[in-house]
Amino acid sequence: MCGIAGILRFDGTSIRDGVLEKFTNAMEHRGPDASGFEFFENRQLGFGHRRLSILDLSEAGKQPMSYADGRYWICYNGEIFNFIDIRKELESKGFTFRTETDTEVVLAAYIAWGRDFLHKLNGMWAMAIWDREEKELFLSRDRFGIKPFYFHFSPDKYLAFASETYAFKHLSEFNRRLNVSHAKAQQSDIYALEGRGLSLYEGLYSIMPGHSAVLRMDSSKLNQKRWYDITKVKSNARGKSLEENAKEFYNLFYDACKRRLISDVPVASALSGGLDSSSVYSTVNTIIRDGGTQRVNENSQQAFVATFAGLEVDETKYAKSVISFVDGKGNYIPHENVNIDLLEKETALYDTLTNRPLYSISSVYRGMKQAGITVSLDGHGVDEMLYGYKDMVYNLYNDALRTRKADTAKSISNVLKLLYHTNSHTELNNRFESELAVMNSTKSRFKGMLKKALLPMIKPDVVLRESYAWPNFKEVVGEPYDFSGMEIPDRMVHNEFFQRTLPSLLRNFDFAGMANNIEIRMPFMDYRLVEFVYGLPLEHKIGGGFTKYIVREALKGHLPENVRARTFKVGIGSPWEYWCKNELKEWRGDMLGSQAVKEAKNTLGEDCNDWELINLALIR
């Protein structure tokens, strides 16, 4: 796991001394172990790399890395979890290796199979590969955009790319300016930008998830193309029973966790006490007890838990239940006495808007680093695939009413009821029975109840007009998925996973981990598991009174029942409102009276909350 950067000049000029180094070293927090720089074509192209050592800790694992007598060079951030299998296949073809890294395997695979090699990779990545003979630069991002890849493209001048937008603040020649329409879009919908390849800044975009691009020095054209398409994946899961699919799910999940344990440094888990992170932690402990793992560090069974003593968001008792169930080791991170300097520094580094500080998330990984951990296995991606958010369940229920599917509406109403405290169950039962009784009266009533989570994204002609007016926008930025032709139940989970919630959460957690020198791995986002889940029938995704039904069935016997059957969702997040009344009260008042916040208010307008104003003030 690392930070990558690069500059390719099309105008015939050379990269000046110190420019690439300053650009790359702005991301030192992503890779504190080493740095590397390589220049090509009379310094018209340069790769920069900050290394967080995880596989092959020796000097041989440094990047940028070359292969085939220096013809091919790679600058790469990520992990390929099936690299051992790919390496064996390449060795059978006559390839040899001098390191124990996955980086060298990726480069050899590119040589062996060309651009089709991407389909062989099981992992997360942002990569740039330079072919010195063809004078060709290949850029690629993983299927789901787990690893970030930002770029600025100035035709006939230069291309620059990096793992974080913050790095561009340190790139000479680039004028880092806030895009006001993007800021207002993100303020109105925190998930508005990331899923479209946009950022908070003018001229800064992303390589889209599942996209790649090829550039040549003599043409200076950038055209992103989709190499992975979830809509073309076929599955046979719809023809199987719940029991059969639960068994298949667990086998895939077990293997996904096992592959993500491969590391030459210690691995741990961020454990919230919810179903998803608990499933990961339990399965990791099962795998280690079973034995037969390859290259797993012996200190890889710890859990790190954020605690919020006395607050409703505290889930410590559930986390302790899981740790006791697997006879594991827990480390508890209390959330009190907020370090204001650190809060300000991390917010500035994060460099975009959030709905609350990332401080609490980041503190878990900070605790890991202090304990000597470098890799965390986390439970991200499940809610978006399996209706884990209350709004999604409501949308399913309202759609079933709209389409007069009585049995489905009844089943979903049972799930909705259990998402609330038992004191509300009688009232909810009466309400649901009343709505079911009048279901056939009209369609339009329930259609109007469907919430904005069902929309593909914010309409570009409303708030993103400036970006879409650029003639080459779709070529350079790529095209997001269009799920508008799907039925609402499928459209919802596809939008949440690929376009709305998850892309922004991935950025949040990537930063929170990397700001503390921690790589985050996500077993639920193994592409085999994702494709399997999207092929399941609706009743295997949500049913029996539960969201994430297939996970609960698959993990029977592997989790304590108070966690496996738990329906109330909290999720980790900074208790901003509580802090503002207590330890951050004075700081908040000072910030709201500052000139920086006044300027932020002029930008965003009156309709924004305190944190949004402070957030923007800290990153400008």
Give yes or no: residues 50 and 131 share one domain.
yes
- In a domain? residue 478: no
**202-245 pLDDT tens trace:** 999 999 999 999 999 887 789 899 999 999 998 877 789 999 99
Give yes or no: residues 396 and 365 share one domain.
no
* Domain, as residue range, for 335: 235-384+501-577
Measured distance CA(554)–CA(551) in Å, rounded = 5
pTM of the model: 0.94
> Strand pairing partners for 281?
none
Give yes or no: residues 402 and 369 share one domain.
no
Last residue of a domain, one of 173, 202, 228: 228
Of the candidates 438, 446, 442, the one whose C-alpha atom is nearest the C-alpha of residue 396 is 446
> Looking at 138-142, 180-184, 451-455, which range is the least confident one?
451-455
Cα–chain center distance at 543: 27
Q: 359: phi > 0 → left, psi -120 to 50 → alpha, else beta; which?
A: alpha
Inform me whether the pLDDT recorded for 466 exceeds 70. Answer: no
Inform me whether the pLDDT recorded for 298 exceeds 80. Answer: no
**258-292 pLDDT tens trace:** 999 999 999 999 999 999 999 999 999 999 888 86
Last residue of a domain, one of 205, 228, 251: 228
Band the pLDDT of 369: cuts 50, 70, 90: very high
- In a domain? residue 52: yes
Of the candidates 542, 540, 599, 593, the one whose C-alpha atom is nearest the C-alpha of residue 567 is 542
Give yes or no: residues 536 and 524 share one domain.
yes
> Looking at 91-95, 342-346, 363-367, 431-435, which range is the least confident one?
431-435
CATH of the domain at 20: 3.60.20.10
Give yes or no: residues 411 and 371 share one domain.
no
- Buried b / exposed e over 256-281, threshold 16 CB at 10 Å, is bbbbbbbbbbbbbbbbbbbbbbbbbb
Element (H, E) at 303: strand 302-307
Give yes or no: residues 457 and 547 share one domain.
no
Q: How confident is the prediction for the chain on average, in pLDDT?
A: 90
Give yes or no: residues 211 and 254 share one domain.
no
Give yes or no: residues 511 and 595 share one domain.
no
Query: Which position has the higher pLDDT, 313 or 157?
Result: 157
- In a domain? residue 143: yes
**484-504 pLDDT tens trace:** 889 999 999 999 999 999 999
**497-551 pLDDT tens trace:** 999 999 999 999 999 999 999 999 999 999 999 999 999 999 999 998 999 999 9
Domain count, the chain: 4
- In a domain? residue 477: no
Give yes or no: residues 443 and 344 share one domain.
no
- In a domain? residue 479: no
Mean pLDDT of 108-121: 97
Inform me whether the pLDDT recorded for 457 exceeds 60. Answer: no
CATH of the domain at 283: 3.40.50.620
